[in-house]
Amino acid sequence: METPQQVKDAAQRCIDRHKDELHSLSRDIWSRPELAGNETHAHDRLVRFFSQDDTWTVEAHYRLATAFRASWGPVGGGGGGEGEPVLNVGFLCEYDALPGIGHACGHNLIAEVGAAAALGLKAALEIRTELPQPVKITVLGTPAEEAIGGKIDLIKAGAFADVDLVFMAHPAQQDASFLPCVALDEVSVKYHGKASHASAYPWEGVNALDAAVLAYNNLSALRQQLKPEWRLHGIIKHGGEKPNIIPAYTELNYYLRTPQVKDLCDLKAKAEACFRAAAVATGCRVEIIYPSHGYYNILPNATLANLYENNGKALGIQFQEQSCIYNYLAGSTDFGNVSFIAPGIHPFFYIGTDAFNHTEEYTEAAGAEKAQLFTLRTAKALAMTAVDVVCCPVLLRQVREDFSLAKLKQEKQLKGSNTALTAP
């Protein structure tokens, strides 16, 4: 029987063989950026990529218009017969871009990593003649991470119901097996006043712009009373029509973020008090709406993180010290919601630039050939980590125990707050 290292070597060789196709896939997605929920070209390109190998079963428009699923297997098993449980290993691809600056978060590279790691694991399992249980590989195309939370819609649609492990990786300025992505809620605030001539008879109007400005200032004053890790930031989305008309309608859009889901309830209550106070002060009517899914923080999985680091170091990846990692306050992702329903890992990887995500410089770096070395190296580390887990029941059990303990800890914390951990 092949040794674990021989199986991992097969995964690496496969990724190297397909490097030109993978680069072309990534570059094609990068060159035609599409916003959340509208990723038709990226969807079609990924569907074609997997469909060229008829050993993959590919489902286009899977549960969402621009989502897809590609599956392979199951293979192997311990001789338990037809009813033997299948271990379904999931790899996630993101591919939506940002308004105005394209792939400034490198989601084209996330798609490439997911596809490459899946190919690598497939090649590894094709030479592994014995496995503890049957293994299946599932690649999910998960759209709209930047705006809507496509993974949460897919969770609700049952797309993750049979997935046992979840792997993906995200571009950043450093290599890290884990960064503490934070919980997020988006809030839309609408003020309704009364229009009037701003010069002739302003006393007849109820100024919705005054309400928006007061709310903005209220939140700015609130910041000094917030915990250091909490964040709130936003814009006045609509401020009126013309200077000589008392604005009858204004709208603000804010993001509220905390390290843990349990803290969001407190921050939301404080922010809502600021919004309502501005309405009272100006005589406006206020609507407070949460228009999109809330993003959870990512549950850590120590076993997967350690395996990923060991495999990454073998490939030359240099990881940050843990103290540096945990002092870094990251953004938010709908992968957090996935991490509450299945054990998973969401490492970050360097792509050859010190530029920050969501900048024009990062857009250029995400499309550059220089990023390929780092991207494919990350895919190899993910595939090798998956090999470790599917070939060793002890490690799989540890991964599942880590997941159960992390989720139980979150649930205990939530009992002491007013936040309910609803189904993602």
Give tens-digit pLDDT for 343-358: 999 999 999 999 999 9
- Which pLDDT score, from 0 to 100, does residue 82 have? 66
Pair 31, 367: CB distance under 8 Å: yes
Q: Give the Cα separation of 11 and 379 in Å (integer).
A: 10
- Is the pLDDT at 47 greater than 50, yes or no? yes
- Is the pLDDT at 1 greater than 90, yes or no? no
Three-state SS for 183? strand
Amino acid at 311: N
How many residues make up the chain in this entry? 424
**pLDDT tens profile 224-258:** 999 999 999 999 999 999 999 999 999 999 999 99
Residue with structure tokens 């549950």?
A: 299
Other CB atoms within 10 Å distance of the CB of residue 82:
6
Q: Give the Cα separation of 8 and 24 in Å (integer).
A: 24
- Is the pLDDT at 424 greater than 50, yes or no? no
- Is the pLDDT at 329 greater than 90, yes or no? no
Pair 255, 296: CB distance under 8 Å: no
Pair 168, 92: CB distance under 8 Å: yes
Q: What angle do CA 67, 73, 74 make, to 5 degrees?
A: 120
Alpha carbon separation from 19 to 23, 27, 361, 374, 375 (Å, rounded) = 6, 12, 24, 12, 10
- For residues 23-52, average pLDDT: 98
Q: What is the pTM of this model?
A: 0.90
Question: What residues contact residue 369 under an 8 Å CB cut-off, 6+ apart?
Answer: 23
pLDDT tier for residue 330 given thresholds of 50, 70 and 90: low
By CB neighbour count within 10 A (0-12 exposed, 13-18 middle, 19+ buried), where does 91 fall?
A: buried
Q: Give the Cα separation of 422 and 87 in Å (integer).
A: 26
Residue with structure tokens 């969770």?
A: 155
> Which residues share a beta bridge with 167?
91, 345
Q: What percent of the chain has pLDDT over 70?
A: 95
DSSP sequence for 249-305: EEEEEEEEEESSHHHHHHHHHHHHHHHHHHHHHHT-EEEEE--SPPBPPPPP-HHHH
**pLDDT tens profile 69-103:** 999 999 987 544 567 899 999 999 999 999 999 99
Q: Give the Cα separation of 23 and 9 in Å (integer).
A: 21
Pair 108, 366: CB distance under 8 Å: yes
- For residues 151-178, average pLDDT: 97
Q: What angle do CA 337, 149, 312 make, to 5 degrees?
A: 60
* Sheet bearing 231-238, strands edge to edge: 231-238, 249-258, 183-192, 285-289
- Which pLDDT score, from 0 to 100, does residue 364 have? 98
**pLDDT tens profile 392-401:** 999 999 999 9
Supply the mean pLDDT for the chain: 93
- Which pLDDT score, from 0 to 100, does residue 347 have? 97
Pair 93, 115: CB distance under 8 Å: yes
Pair 37, 95: CB distance under 8 Å: no
- Which pLDDT score, from 0 to 100, does residue 83 have? 73
- Is the pLDDT at 314 greater than 90, yes or no? yes
Q: Give the Cα separation of 24 and 333 in Å (integer).
A: 26
Pair 131, 78: CB distance under 8 Å: yes
pLDDT tier for residue 108 given thresholds of 50, 70 and 90: very high
Pair 104, 359: CB distance under 8 Å: yes
Q: Give the Cα separation of 405 and 403 in Å (integer).
A: 6
- Is the pLDDT at 304 greater than 70, yes or no? yes
- Which pLDDT score, from 0 to 100, does residue 410 have? 86
Q: Is the dihedral of CA 39, 42, 47, 48 positive or negative?
A: positive
- Is the pLDDT at 417 greater than 80, yes or no? no
- For residues 308-325, average pLDDT: 84
- Is the pLDDT at 64 greater than 60, yes or no? yes
- Is the pLDDT at 270 greater than 70, yes or no? yes
**pLDDT tens profile 183-199:** 999 999 999 999 999 99
